[in-house]
Structure 1
Amino acid sequence: MSTEDDVQAISRRFYAALNRMANGDAAAMEEVWSHGEAVTAMHPIGDRQIGWGAVRESFEAFARVASEGQIELKDRLVRIEGNMAYEVGLESGTFKLAGEAVTFEHRVTNIYRRVEEAWEVVHHHADLSPAILEVLDRLRAA
């Protein structure tokens, strides 16, 4: 398997984990993310997490209110330099937050790092999503 194939494989695993999270189960994130203190995430709801504990909790919190989700990455571009790789594209999908339907599309950047022979997610960044923020604001107000 080539390095490009390996990066494509971790990307597929990450999006499979995102889909499980969008259906109420964030456990698969454990298998694809680095567990270090240097990992980061900037989600479409506007916050930033630093360190695996904070990143894991952000996915778990979302999973507690998410259901019926489907997320995909379109227009993917991958670049690899040594033990680091990044991909950019358009992340789109639908899911329900506390029963309320949300449709979204935003730009995304994912950064992967190779540790020995395995690739891990070390950063995920998505544009702000007005659609998701609007639903979360209504949920917080209720």
Structure 2
Amino acid sequence: MPSPTEAFLAEMLPRQTAAERAMHNGNLEPRVALWSQADPVSVFGAWLPIRTGWADVSDAFKRVAAQFSDSREYRFEVIAAGASGDLAYTIGFEHNTVSVNGKPTTYTLRATHVYRRENGEWKIVHRHADRPPDEPGPDERLGGTHSR
């Protein structure tokens, strides 16, 4: 019998990976479907200001998805994970080869997600992602300035 963490990962990671691949092809709907729309939700993005509340979070997703296309690879490398009751988390690296504003690029982000079980289904309620110290800065990726 799988542990709660193993069961959580088996259920959630394939769905999350598929949603992120879709997002990196400009389709945000699968990502939206994985997120709780019940506050509190938050995103501490790699290239965007901190967002809290579903209205701000979903707006950020729309802005980011519009900049991505031609996803050639997306992989989430899990470093640590846990699940207990109705809460879970993952910590890992997101490896991505995609076009950002039409320019092909490859990058890695450190990413932490927090999940809450709602009506029997896991939903993401928080994401924090940033670039490892040796990765290029946000201005080189999304064509804007990084602000909080």
Structure 1 segment 1-142 matched on structure 2, within 5 A: 3-4=4-5, 5-69=7-71, 70-128=73-131, 130-137=136-143
Q: How many residues align?
A: 139
Change (3 A) 1:8 1:41: farther
Contact 2:80 2:90 (C-alpha < 8 Å) held by counterparts: yes
TM-score relative to the length of structure 1: 0.85
What's the offset of the Cα at 1:86? 0.5
Contact 1:10 1:32 (C-alpha < 8 Å) held by counterparts: no
How far apart in 1 are the matches of 2:136 and 2:100?
14
Give the letter for the 1:22 counterpart: H
Q: Could you list the runs of 5+ residues in structure 1 that have no partner in the other structure?
A: none
Contact 2:138 2:144 (C-alpha < 8 Å) held by counterparts: no
Pairwise CA RMSD: 2.1
SS in 2 for 1:38: coil
Using the aligned pairs only, state the percent identity.
27
Change (3 A) 1:8 1:77: farther
Which structure has more helix as a fraction of its residues? 1
How far apart in 1 are the matches of 2:59 and 2:48?
15
What's the offset of the Cα at 1:138? 6.4
Contact 1:68 1:95 (C-alpha < 8 Å) held by counterparts: yes
What's the offset of the Cα at 1:136? 2.1
Give the letter for the 1:110 counterpart: H
Q: Could you list the runs of 5+ residues in structure 2 that have no partner in the other structure?
A: none
How far apart in 2 are the matches of 1:115 and 1:37?
12
Give the letter for the 2:136 counterpart: P
